[in-house]
A = this chain, B = another copy of it.
Amino acid sequence: MHKKLFIPGPVDVREDVLQQMTKPMIGHRTKDASALQRRISEKLQKVFYTNEEILLSTSSGSGLMEGAIRSCTRKRAAVFSVGAFGDRWYEMAVANNVPADKFSVEQGKATTAEMVDEVLSTGKYDLITVTHNETSSGVMNPVEEISEVMKKYPEVIWCLDTVSSMAGTKIEVDKLGVDICITSTQKCIGLPPGMAIASMSKKAVEAAKEVPYRGVYLDLLALYDYIQKKDYQYPSTPALSLMYALDYQLDRILEEGLENRYARHLEMAQYVREWAKKNFELFPEERYASNTLTTIKNTRNIDVSALNKALGERGFTISNGYGKLKDKTFRISHMADYTLDEVKSLIAAIDDILGL
């Protein structure tokens, strides 16, 4: 029996979307391939609220995160971490010999505008990375407030990890002033894993030109330049099947309407949060609680693995806490094409199993 995945990615993908991946191959150096990538880019510009170029990468979101910090840090990067995925960005800097410092907060807290301001006021940094939605703690950072502060530092490149939030909540890339905004297919976009997506501002393009060793495959400038020179083609052979599915799914997303999609995500989040507050506690500060997944403090000390096993027998699966938060928290995601009714069925099953 297939278990419905209420985990923070991969998410369940609709049958008609999966079916797109059975379309026959085309040459990746044809006009059809250019048209496919251009179509996808134009639709993604709407989802990202950007006029900047959209880069596609046959990699996971981690691939483009690494590419971003390596390609665009000229002097030193400030990595703001609120959990596992912020920490990962710092590890990427270290592994690439990119000078960087990490600024962490206690798990469950957010990166605040004040923190960013304080760090950047030192003048030491020319790039920052921020996790928009941290899937370990369930924190959604206040990017609007950070955006206000960033206006004071026009020379600093802003990289934002929206892997688990883009298309699930409104992120107006150009208005916020985000230079490199990264997501991947298997979260709120509602596709299988295998492709990462980023917007890249002209400021980031200029920054990358100053960095001598950017590698090749994950070099954002190489992806950008290839689009310009080869009319929306990809330097190597891209994951065509996923591109077919992405092209189709973006139509579905735009047909639903972005505002409707965000409202649906928020409705599911609010339902899970209210349930969590009634029966457990929210792990993050409530004002920073994510709209795409909820991390719940295991105040009843339930056996999360046993719960998940029992849920499995009913066709559902949720996530245990991530890393050090295992068993101390558990996570319910509500992203992509799930509906409030499906979330209600899951919660009803949990209530029944736990006798709540």
Contacts and interface: CB of A to CB of B under 8 A. Distances in A.
Contact of A317 (B27, B96, B97): B27
Contacts of A306: none
Contacts of A62: 216-217, 235-236
Contact of A27 (B10, B26, B66): B10
Nearest to A244: B192
Nearest to A218: B217
A60 interface: yes
A230 to B, nearest CB: 13
A339 interface: no
A24 B2 contact: yes
Nearest to A60: B236
Given A58-B60, A59-B217, A213-B95, A237 B10 contact: yes
A258 interface: no
Contacts of A47: none
B58 A193 contact: yes
B27 A11 contact: no
Interface in A180-200: 184, 186, 192-195
What's the number of copies of this chain in the assembled complex? 2
Interface in A12-57: 12-13, 15, 18-19, 21-28
Contacts of A21: 18, 21-22, 192, 241
Given A59-B59, A240-B193, A214 B317 contact: no
A35 B236 CA distance: 30
Q: For chain A, what secondary structure do more than half of its interface residues adopt (helix, strand, loop), or is it mixed?
A: loop
B70 A63 contact: no
B13 A24 contact: yes
A120 interface: no
B27 A13 contact: no
A131 to B, nearest CB: 15
B25 A12 contact: yes
A215 interface: yes
A92 interface: yes
Contact of A92 (B11, B61, B215): B215
A285 interface: no
Nearest to A241: B192
B22 A241 contact: no
A168 interface: no
Given A9-B237, A237-B184, A58 B58 contact: yes
A100 interface: no
A12 B132 CA distance: 40
B239 A193 contact: yes
Contacts of A193: 28, 58, 237-240
A242 B194 contact: yes
Nearest to A67: B217
Contacts of A61: 236-237
24 contacts: A12-B24, A13-B24, A18-B23, A18-B241, A21-B22, A22-B22, A58-B58, A58-B59, A58-B63, A58-B193, A58-B194, A59-B59, A61-B236, A62-B216, A63-B217, A63-B218, A66-B215, A95-B214, A95-B215, A193-B237, A193-B240, A194-B194, A241-B241, A241-B242
